[in-house]
């Protein structure tokens, strides 16, 4: 997701019951530093910070929201107003993020079902019991699954903040911010920033619904006729509106989405290339390898060797 110079990011920090206040304020301070690092005007790194709590839940669209960590045993309830707020904002296209125990809130909102995610290692048993459908990987500090990003550990809000700065404003600014904070980015788990960030702020509700379906059903055959019917359009109208909203055809979009999912799996390691190919929708490993190399310039094996993330620190 690249930000145009005149389009400030609207970032919501969620102050849920029991939230770690130092993390909440720390993230706010990180983004407040960006104008100082980018010079006068700071038009290229503008972030509008919004504070959200149970009594203040703005309905205006946001680009992203973060549930920070917690020092208390407070757990999210499925009917909590902030759970509904998060689900609605994500459905509108917002990037959903959590740190440590904040993942319980995304879990209650149903945003982690079937996805890889992480949280603090000490919360593993309780999280698995509450959300058995989530592919929990607590050994990782940060997992980016395109429209949902989770981080584990009480201090992983630093990783989350640097990651978001890198996604929105580039690796150079993320590195400058890390140096300013005296945080060593080497060894911290940050994704390769040039990943697939499909546009979601185009305002076409029907096409956004199709994108959401592709996010979850990417491994299934998704013919144009099926997607158009689900959107209530003729194939011709659907193809025209999808191209206008996303800048690519449904087939190209699905290929990029599958490759991005595969990139994350290869970076986290563990599964075989054939298993990853199958999991993202390719029944022919050779076809998967060709598609992957066409997008990334590397074979799956070479990509794994270059970008594989070491297991995160525990704590």
Task: Please write the tens of the pLDDT for every residue from 4-42.
Answer: 445 789 999 999 999 999 999 999 999 999 988 887 444
What integer pLDDT is reported at residue 42 of this predicted model? 44
Looking at per-residue pLDDT, the higher value among 59 and 66 belongs to 66
| pTM assigned to the model | 0.72
Lowest mean pLDDT among 48-52, 74-78, 250-254, 294-298: 74-78
Read out DSSP for 269-297? --S-HHHHHHHTT-S-HHHHHHHHHHHHS
Of 152, 135, 136, 147, the closest CA to residue 189 belongs to 152
Residues contacting residue 150 through CB under 8 Å, at least 6 positions apart? 97, 98, 99, 103, 106, 112, 117, 118, 119, 142, 143
56: left (phi over 0), alpha (psi -120 to 50) or beta: beta
- CA-based max dimension of the chain: 55
Q: What is the pLDDT of residues 83-95, one digit of tens each?
A: 999 999 999 999 9
Q: Which of the four CATH numbers 3.40.190.10, 3.50.50.60, 3.40.309.10, 3.40.50.880 does domain 9-180 have?
A: 3.40.50.880
What integer pLDDT is reported at residue 203 of this predicted model? 85
Q: Do the strands 142-144 and 148-151 form a parallel or antiparallel pair, or are they unpaired?
A: antiparallel
Hey, what are 240's tokens?
């025209």
Region 220-232: mean pLDDT is 95
Region 281-302: mean pLDDT is 91
Write the burial class of residue 111 (CB in 10 Å: 0-12 exposed, 13-18 middle, 19+ buried). buried
Indicate the SS3 state at residue 48: strand
Q: What is the pLDDT of residues 157-204, one digit of tens each?
A: 999 999 999 889 888 888 889 889 988 665 444 344 456 878 888 889
Q: What angle do CA 28, 93, 224 make, to 5 degrees?
A: 155
What integer pLDDT is reported at residue 20 of this predicted model? 94
Give the pLDDT band (50/70/90) at residue 2.
very low
Hey, what are 130's tokens?
């509450």
* CATH class in words for 205-307: mainly alpha
What integer pLDDT is reported at residue 207 of this predicted model? 95
CA distance 170 to 292: 23
Place of tokens 């006729």: 225
Place of tokens 């010079």: 39
Beta bridge partners of 99: 151
Q: Domain locations in the chain?
A: 9-180, 205-307
Beta bridge partners of 19: 70
Kindly tell me if the per-residue pLDDT of 65 is higher than 90: yes
CA distance 101 to 103: 5
What integer pLDDT is reported at residue 185 of this predicted model? 60
As a whole-number percent, the residues of the chain with pLDDT over 70 amount to 90
Hey, what are 290's tokens?
């060709």
């Amino acid at each position: 997701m690249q930000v145009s110079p005149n389009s400030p990011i609207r970032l919501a920090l969620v102050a849920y019951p029991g939230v770690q206040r130092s993390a909440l304020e720390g993230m706010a301070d990180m983004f407040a530093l960006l104008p100082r690092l980018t010079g006068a005007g700071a038009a290229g790194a503008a972030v509008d910070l919004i504070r959200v709590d149970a009594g203040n839940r703005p309905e205006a669209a946001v680009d992203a929201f973060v549930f920070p960590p917690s020092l208390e045993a407070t757990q999210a309830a499925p009917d909590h107003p902030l759970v509904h707020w998060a689900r609605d904002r994500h459905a509108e296209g917002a990037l959903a993020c959590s740190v440590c125990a904040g993942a319980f809130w995304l879990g209650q909102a149903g945003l982690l079902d079937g996805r890889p995610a992480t949280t603090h290692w000490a919360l593993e048993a309780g999280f698995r019991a509450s959300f058995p459908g989530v592919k929990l990987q607590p050994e990782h500090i940060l997992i980016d699954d395109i429209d949902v990003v989770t981080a584990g550990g009480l201090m992983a809000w630093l990783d989350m903040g640097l990651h978001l700065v890198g996604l929105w404003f580039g690796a150079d600014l993320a590195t400058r911010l890390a140096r300013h904070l005296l945080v060593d980015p080497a060894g911290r788990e940050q994704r390769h920033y040039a990943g697939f960030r499909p546009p979601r702020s185009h305002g076409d509700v029907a096409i956004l619904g199709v994108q959401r379906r592709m996010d979850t059903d990417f491994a299934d055959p998704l013919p144009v006729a099926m997607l158009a019917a689900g959107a209530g359009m003729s194939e011709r109208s659907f193809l025209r509106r999808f191209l206008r909203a996303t800048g690519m055809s449904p087939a190209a979009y699905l290929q990029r989405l599958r490759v991005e999912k595969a990139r994350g799996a290869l970076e986290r390691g563990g599964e075989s290339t054939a298993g990853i190919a199958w999991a993202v929708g390719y029944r022919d490993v050779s076809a998967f390898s060709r598609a992957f190399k066409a997008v990334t310039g590397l074979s799956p094996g070479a990509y794994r060797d270059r970008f594989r993330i070491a297991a995160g620190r525990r704590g």
